[in-house]
Amino acid sequence: MSAPTISLVLGSGGARGYAHIGAIEELRAQGYDIKSIAGASMGALVGGVYAAGKLDVYRDWVMALQRMDVVRLLDWTFRGGLIKGDRIVGKLKDMIGEVNIEDLPISYTAVAVDLMAQREVWFSRGALFDAIRASIAIPTVLRPHRYQGRLLVDGGLLNPVPITPTLRDLTDCTIAIDVNAQAEPLNGDGELAPDMLTEDHADTEALPAAPDGATPMLVEGGTEGEAGTDATQAPGYRQRIAEFIDSFKRDKKVVQAEPGILELFARSLDVVQETVTRFKLAAQPPDLVVRIPRNACAFYEFHRAEEVIELGRVRTREALRNFRLPTKS
């Protein structure tokens, strides 16, 4: 029996796009044959690297990146964006080599946006790195890519999960990896985010409970009790306990950390991307969607490759567990 063929759609989402690596590896491990890839932004990058046959090289490189390694890859500018992007693309070219899309062994489409015409641009031929560079140009972060007289930016701006380029594919099914899915508690215990602490919580942390079997505190003289008297019987001690308990009855204001500029931009981008993604998937639903929650990491946390790759692998495995190929009419 031949392996089931799939069209793979890889969504935009910055560093969360590392999950695409784990997803591709899990699909291959389970015997799926990827015949076509359409991607936007980080999805276009990972998809292009895979189509060029260099996913293992790229994976090993990103998994070794530390925070300062990422910083050293940034070539700062303040004209058209914060980062030129030449250093990043140059590193990828050294790793993968110059490739034309039409020479790739599988069908590949990268989606970008023509900022002046306000429309999508699909790269299905030409230099692979022109396609990738255009598709990853997050507005204000990465400088737009000028190509054949057009000013091109991140494809996720209009189409975070580009299903449309795969509609004519003669494959058994279409699988989309959405890395802008609804946030969820990844550790499973539903804890609040670390930037949402209350004054009550701070008070509680400051007064840890005494360990089991601990000896009661003794008052050594003074008017609150005789030496050797159990402190829990002293009136002053009881009063302090009562005041402490009473303090919890007062209304407490939430102490909420103000996000910095980058964090504010990241959260705003996530909100927009999730909304547009939801509409796109509703309009053109694929056969299967693998969902990566948007709080898996921020779009700029490119030093967290290992855990995000593994999350993509696990979520793909879970999604495939009960998946059945659609029957052909």
Determine which one of 36, 107, 130, 154 is catalytic. Answer: 154
- CA-nearest of 122, 105, 116 to 40 is 122
CB atoms within 10 A of CB 206: 7
Angle between helical axes of 305-321 and 55-63 (0-180°, round to 10): 130
Catalytic-residue membership of 154: yes
> Which alpha helices (H) appear in 140-252, and where do they start and end?
199-206, 235-247
Q: Sort residue 188 into left (φ over 0), alpha (ψ -120 to 50) or beta.
A: left
2 tagged catalytic: no
Query: Which residue among 7, 12, 36, 41 is the active-site one?
Result: 41
Strands (E), 243-325: 254-256, 288-293
Burial 175-191 (b: 16+ CB within 10 A, else e): bbbbbbbeeeeeeeeee
> Which residues participate in catalysis according to the annotation?
41, 154
